[in-house]
Chains A and B, each alone.
Chain A
């Protein structure tokens, strides 16, 4: 069986929902950040797959993927800075502990 667009979309879809699951279930902020990376990479796979199978000969999807990777790097830097600050304040990186912003 030849691997086509459908199979790749299955992979990216699985990857995305693994990310969503991880994001919703893990309490550790680092793990949650990793889950976000999984979701971003699922999007990247989608871009590349559509670029190759639907719009071959153009590079828009590839460019977008590069953008996403760059922004994901920046986002990781900011997120880790936030996580470090949370750690300094709460002595923990459990998301359940940082809950002062409620009513």
Chain B
């Protein structure tokens, strides 16, 4: 049975641990705070797995269709009888799947951080922030109301900001945190406006009612489609603005610039927030509103598809040129999220049409496992080498056997080599793309080759290439404590086996099962692309040679542009500093200083002048008052007598 208390406790336990560690951690719990946070999250994870088991195998289905269940709903702000902001829990296949992903990856990161962050001055603060993030993310996936999701959406943004800026004595970390916050906040403005547009026409904020009203022919649907603005219907605008919010969180082009910089945070945080969970919130949001996208507004869905495909390709290209290993992983994350987005974009609703939806969620699930693993491995490497640069690494395979093996598993998984998790999900995505949009399919195929190339470039540069130069660390340095290796092994196993989950049986667009047999003939092409990418990377980077330089010189200007991330950051700076600051910022500053402040100052100085004039009348001298009084009296007397 699904117990409401158990489900409600899943987000509430991390909240309790956040409050406990945040309030008392620094003074009283210093060394123990890691354990407290980890045990609390373990409890959450157990509850989440129980809930998932109950939902998928016991009570979630009615006649073979997974239902949307709302076990808890508290009306919080009631605006009118039909319109209220509720706090509640919505269980459906995607939210239950996300529960499992978030709690599991978060638990791995908590355990890993016990070793990785050991000896950190603000250890307790770190764990309280992690708990806050986990709470917000769980609240986000369980939201039953579009405004509730917005509240938690901002909360994950704040916790992401806090964790990126965790090393606040580093100016680059502070700048990165600010950048992440401002860019996502800017995107969230679009999200908010989108919510307002949609809820204005649909007259509800509740997901269930919203989807029902905007997918069946109701007066609300007619009115929102009939209203048009700048050539698109209000529905299209609303959905696109909501997607803009999602694109900001999920680092889709052109709002992706914060993600690579966000790597300034501690590496376990990058694994949790900027790889596995928070950055897929945008995908989750589109999936949550998917029926509206698919059934009422295919145009907006097409935009989602093209933005996703373009981001995937762009990020993969940039990833091939970066030398900071965390940045390579960040761009690879962006590229994989692009996959999830365009998988949604090429999907239809219901039955076999919903293959893309299912593939997207499947990829979200497998990606969380292997990308978290990649980041945690990178963390172990950075911990060992004390550098983020590829050039300082090489030949680590003998020094760090466990990391080497698990990293290899993750690389094979992300490249889509058969039997590893990524193969199955990527296969479904490519099938869906092939059936609906050949252009996106081509982009995806090419990108999967690039993915294999840059991942193995990373792998060979870290673990092969040259003998490890021991200057950078002392010889007795071990690979890592058990707390760092256990999560690697667990996630490694997950990256191997999660692909075999018959995902189509559980998570589909309408809750009905779809069959997902792997088509061997179809999968030959993508696997060939991946193998080609791997072989290319192997020939370039397995031993020290100058082939990679030659190729980069051959690409010339294109290589330089990709290395500089296609100058997107510079374009942003130009637009904000030169155009927005000069054309809008300075005039409004002038207006504020001279007109707004000026009018306030004017009324103040008028009052002051008047009081300067009149204050001498109140001299405090009794006799002069009396004299004036007498004078007045005499004038009055004269008036009465003579007139």
Residues on A lying within 8 angstroms of B by beta carbon are 20, 23-25, 95-96, 98-103
Contacts and interface: CB of A to CB of B under 8 A. Distances in A.
B620 A24 contact: no
Contacts of A102: 618-621
A24 B623 contact: yes
B620 A23 contact: no
Contact of A23 (B615, B618, B621, B626): B626
A96 B622 CA distance: 8
Contact of B618 (A25, A95, A98, A103): A103
A22 B615 CA distance: 28
B619 A99 contact: yes
Interface in B611-640: 615-616, 618-623, 626-627, 630
B626 A24 contact: yes
A102 B617 CA distance: 9
Nearest to B617: A103
Contact of B623 (A95, A100, A103): A95
A82 to B, nearest CB: 12
Given A20-B630, A103-B615, A95 B620 contact: no
10 contacts: A20-B630, A24-B623, A24-B626, A24-B630, A95-B621, A98-B622, A99-B619, A99-B621, A101-B618, A102-B621
A99 B626 contact: no
A95 B619 CA distance: 13
Nearest to A99: B620
A101 B626 contact: no
A98 B618 CA distance: 13
Given A20-B630, A101-B618, A103-B615, 14 more contacts: A23-B623, A24-B623, A24-B630, A25-B623, A95-B622, A95-B623, A96-B621, A98-B620, A98-B622, A99-B619, A99-B621, A100-B620, A102-B621, A103-B618
A43 B593 CA distance: 65
Contacts of B630: 20, 24
Interface residues of B, number: 11
The 6 closest A-B pairs by CB, nearest first: A102-B620, A99-B620, A103-B615, A101-B620, A103-B618, A95-B622
A25 B621 CA distance: 12
Nearest to B619: A102
A23 B616 CA distance: 22
Nearest to B616: A103
B472 to A, nearest CB: 75
Interface in B565-617: 615-616
Most buried by B among A98, A100, A102: A102
A24 B627 contact: yes
Contacts of A101: 618, 620
Contacts of A96: 621
Nearest to A101: B620
Interface in B313-360: none
Contacts of A99: 619-621
Most buried by A among B615, B616, B623: B623
B83 to A, nearest CB: 56
A103 B622 CA distance: 14
A99 B624 CA distance: 12
Contacts of A98: 620, 622
Nearest to B630: A20
Interface in B195-224: none
Nearest to A27: B623
Contacts of B619: 99, 102
Most buried by A among B616, B618, B622, B626: B622
A40 to B, nearest CB: 15
A101 B615 CA distance: 12
A100 B627 CA distance: 19
A32 to B, nearest CB: 8
Contacts of B622: 95, 98
Most buried by B among A23, A96, A103: A103
Contacts of A103: 615-616, 618
Interface in B348-377: none
Contacts of A23: 623, 626
Interface string B219-231: 0000000000000
A28 B373 CA distance: 96
Contacts of A95: 621-623
Nearest to B621: A99
Most buried by A among B616, B620, B630: B620
A33 to B, nearest CB: 12
Nearest to B627: A24
Contacts of B618: 101-103
Nearest to B624: A24
Interface string B247-258: 000000000000
A42 to B, nearest CB: 15
Contacts of B626: 23-24
A76 B626 CA distance: 18
A100 B619 CA distance: 9
A24 B619 CA distance: 15
Contacts of B615: 103
Contacts of A100: 620
Nearest to A100: B620
Interface string B239-272: 0000000000000000000000000000000000
A19 B621 CA distance: 19
A73 B618 CA distance: 30
A52 B6 CA distance: 106
Contacts of A25: 623
Contacts of B623: 23-25, 95
Interface in B467-492: none
Contacts of B627: 24
A66 B11 CA distance: 90
B635 to A, nearest CB: 16
Nearest to B615: A103
